[in-house]
Structure 1
């Protein structure tokens, strides 16, 4: 048990550091190629925070643990809203101004409904995986178009500040490769440790994916959102979560579908997906609903999101113990 816990702890730490190096390298390569900061932020930086989930789900699928990967997707999306934004808003209220985020929110609902429709039959096929990847490509094309068009959006300055300082192309490529290697190695450690703990505690791979793995792989979003909020970049903090959740449902959910297709635990569809939708609606309500010029996610609302996440963990505990 101690070895498995250590593998997860070290693996998650390396995942976070490796993801940072990978994103820094990729963003610097794009910057050297004169890609606009808004495009870099909406694509590379946002996708980068989902890399831990993507690599972990891919490795789990390669090991035949489909439910671990699916649990990682749903649990991470719930944690991103309930834990990440909840804690961030408790630390400092988040003022929402970006019109880009207002446009992304309906798209996130569409992506959520697409994922639900593909999972509704209780299985993920390779055809479902291909549809998700097509959706990912279309999403990247759409947000790239937004980035090229909305040059006056408040996110532009925030993304510019978040992109690392200029590095040479050689150094950028080096960090890109080093980060990718660390992601692969550390994800293997996390998956092995998670499966060992699941077997030792007698709980399902789905539960471990929804809890330990999901919270661990959501740490990059928590760090990124806290740092952004403390810098006064609230739109970037919320944008990280919205972007990450969309990429999780498209890129990360595609991993088990493409690598190890088949039926998954019914609880994922009957219990966890509806709860994820509930948290998504809650994000919309506290961020945008009835707030024509943007809004503020205050500490009370942050507390409600965090309490909701704690309640979800308690629900999982009692159901797994039953």
Structure 2
């Protein structure tokens, strides 16, 4: 039954995110909010709402392993598997802004998270903690990042590549509220089922978070980037992944830490190093000829397969 609840929960998360974005974007458009601002806020929030909902639910239930594993695992899935499969479908052209602004910021957020969890290694303690204050710091950086992105887009008069469909008001309200309810209820099912599966199999909650939960909550990013890659919309394919990574670390981990301090077993510090290494490897791929080729996409996907094998072997050992 736990597996069934997990699947139902993931479906509710993904479909709830779709309906929430569609409904809330329609309402925002009716209030004449620019499409660019909607794309940077509501649409970005929508694709990362499964990670947010699962992590918040995990914090409320004090299942710290799922919170940490969900955020770090989702980012590894995004940068290696989703970006890799997108490049395999259609080689991705990269804008200079992504190389010199967005990716470096994503790397810096990862380094900041690593520094926050380094106290366990320094003290020789088996557990590191992301405290309430560190959660607030992450949220502050997220607010600064969001403001700067909106300001840059407004000053640069950039147009959003998101097509906002205006729905009838009743339908917009139903989609928005129904989507949020589905997200919240789906998150509760996922966290509860994942915890039960971990207990039954004798595995850690962090391992379940790094694998099953991380892949499941990354489905919106996977669908968005693959569809964008097929259409040749490279900015959406890459921006969706990089933006989601920043959102996960700063907002999802930040708000989770504010709700309840996040205990992290130092044994899983390796996963943060792997995430950082993956990002540092991808940057040269973006820089050379400003394109990620099909071959590089295959290498990235194989890297994710290798990472999955590593964490499974670590759990067995």
Q: TM-score, normalised to structure 2's length?
A: 0.93
User: For residues 39-87 of structure 1, what are the alpha-carbon distances to aligned partners after superposition, in whole Å with 9 as ceiling and x for unaligned?
Assistant: 2222221222111001001111111101110110000000001111111
| Aligned twin of 1:151 | 157
SS of corresponding position for 2:17: helix
Q: Distance in 1 between matches of 2:194 and 2:297?
A: 29
Among 292, 300, 309, which residue is 1:297 paired with?
A: 292
User: For residues 239-295 of structure 1, what are the alpha-carbon distances to aligned partners after superposition, in whole Å with 9 as ceiling and x for unaligned?
Assistant: 0000000000011112431222153211232x11000101111232222x244xxx2
Q: Distance in 1 between matches of 2:98 and 2:307?
A: 30
CA RMSD of the aligned region, Å? Answer: 1.6
Within 5 Å, give how 1:97-246 maps onto structure 2.
Answer: 97=95, 99=97, 102-121=100-119, 122-152=128-158, 156=159, 159-160=160-161, 162-246=162-246
| Aligned twin of 1:79 | 77
User: For residues 193-238 of structure 1, what are the alpha-carbon distances to aligned partners after superposition, in whole Å with 9 as ceiling and x for unaligned?
Assistant: 1111101110101100000000100111000001111122011110
**2:69·2:207 contact (CA, 8 Å) conserved in 1?**
yes
**1:27·1:163 contact (CA, 8 Å) conserved in 2?**
no
SS of corresponding position for 2:107: helix
Q: Distance in 1 between matches of 2:56 and 2:282?
A: 28
Name stretches of at least 5 consecutive residues in structure 1 with no aligned partner.
none
SS of corresponding position for 1:50: helix
Deviation at 1:132, TM superposition (A): 1.0
Alignment of 1:320 onto 2:307: no
SS of corresponding position for 2:203: coil
| Aligned twin of 2:31 | 33
Residues 275 and 76 of structure 1: CA distance in aligned 2, closer, same or farther (over 3 Å) = same
Q: Distance in 2 between matches of 1:277 and 1:29?
A: 38
Q: Distance in 2 between matches of 1:28 and 1:297?
A: 34
More deviation, 31-40/276-285: 31-40
Name stretches of at least 5 consecutive residues in structure 2 with no aligned partner.
120-127
Deviation at 1:103, TM superposition (A): 2.2
Aligned residues: 309
